[in-house]
Amino acid sequence: MLGSLTERLDAAACALAQQRPVVVGLSGGRDSVALLLMLHAMGCSPLLPVHVNHGIRGAEADADEQFCAALCARLGLPFKAVRVDVPALAQQQGESLETTARLVRRRILKETAAQTATPTVALAHHADDQAETVLFRLARGSAGTRGMHPVTEAEGVTWLRPLLPLSRQDITRLLTEMGETWRDDSTNAVADVARNRIRHEVLPALNQAMGRDVAPILCRSARLQAETLEALECAVAALPILDPQGRLYLPFVLQQPLPLRKAIILHYLKTCGVPGADEALVLRVDSILPPTAPHARLSLPGNFTAIRSHKRLKVEC
């Protein structure tokens, strides 16, 4: 079964994993164990599994760390474990445990990957995670049905998600047939945060209401939107929207219908490196483009500022 599932992994993510050193996020849970075993079976090398002990679950977390160390020793792989007092850090920063733990994990993985020539991190998100992400973002109103991408570039790191085409059921069946074990995080079973409620309550209720497993449909919607957005970005990049100084040329932009104008502004903000560029921000920028607009400057996230001057829009930090 291992061979058949590796053939279903995302091809682009796997190709990169086979070409460069890869840091692997290893929690000890089912998904990360499967990810490590599959990358190892594919001959990806060197692999550097990294485990973050958040200091939240006491002896249970220590046992997770020991499990990961033993797994890596059996596979002949190096192993890095980092301990962080997440509860203390969360209280200090005024964030939730979930948010703090996620940011800590990402920072440690990024810092470890930065020690290699081609910083690359593999994460164990799969199709069910994708479905949960789509529902979460749709309900929050932040990104439509946009999901996670198999390969993304962010913060100087290439983030790989080879398991996105596989379901949780696929992964469970694989590990069971291989006789492999994993660790269950007890906090994942508690419906006290939005993502856990979506996993344990919303998706099962939606499956029951529709009489089918809706995860593949949600994943397909995410893929179709990603393909549409990619095509739109390519089309926008080919338009004469910039002057020789790299500023947005407003006479052309203002002639476009609002949907295309929004795509142009979003593309420009991303090109300038403005973080958190969502529809609300795009519409705020659009409001200062007309020459009759009452304001010609707008503060943007990341200490950026949008400035309209002489039929041009520039973004500076």
pLDDT in tens, 202-221: 999 999 999 999 999 999 98
Sign of the torsion angle spanned by Cα atoms 194, 196, 197, 198: positive
Amino acid at 16: L
151 vs 189, more confident? 151
What span, in angstroms and rounded, lies between the C-alpha atoms of 290 and 296?
9
The structure's pTM equals 0.80
Which segments of the chain are extended strands (E)? Answer: 22-25, 47-53, 80-83, 120-122, 151-154, 157-160, 248-249, 297-300, 304-309, 312-316
What span, in angstroms and rounded, lies between the C-alpha atoms of 13 and 34?
15
pLDDT in tens, 221-240: 888 888 887 888 888 888 99
Confidence (pLDDT) at 104? 93
Buried b (16+ CB within 10 A) or exposed e, 144-183: ebbbbbbbeeeeebbbbbbbbbbbbebbeebbeeeeeebb
Confidence of residue 1 (pLDDT cuts 50, 70, 90): low
Q: Which residue in the block uniquely carries the two structure tokens 């990360």?
A: 32
CA-closest candidate to residue 119, choices 76, 75, 154, 84: 154
Do 274 and 302 touch, CB atoms closer than 8 A? Answer: yes
Percent of the chain with pLDDT over 90: 65
Count other Cβ atoms within 10 Å, centred on residue 204.
11
What is the pLDDT averaged over residues 43-71?
93
Which range among 179-193, 229-243, 283-297 has the greatest average pLDDT? 283-297
| Residue 141 burial (10 A CB sphere; 0-12, 13-18, 19+) | exposed
Query: Using the 8-state DSSP alphabet, how is residue 181 labeled?
Result: -
What is the pLDDT averaged over residues 44-62?
91
Query: Given a cut of 80, is residue 144 above it in pLDDT?
Result: no
CA-closest candidate to residue 199, choices 246, 273, 130: 130
Percent of the chain with pLDDT over 70: 96
Confidence (pLDDT) at 3? 66
CA-closest candidate to residue 31, choices 137, 136, 164: 164
What is the pLDDT averaged over residues 37-41?
95
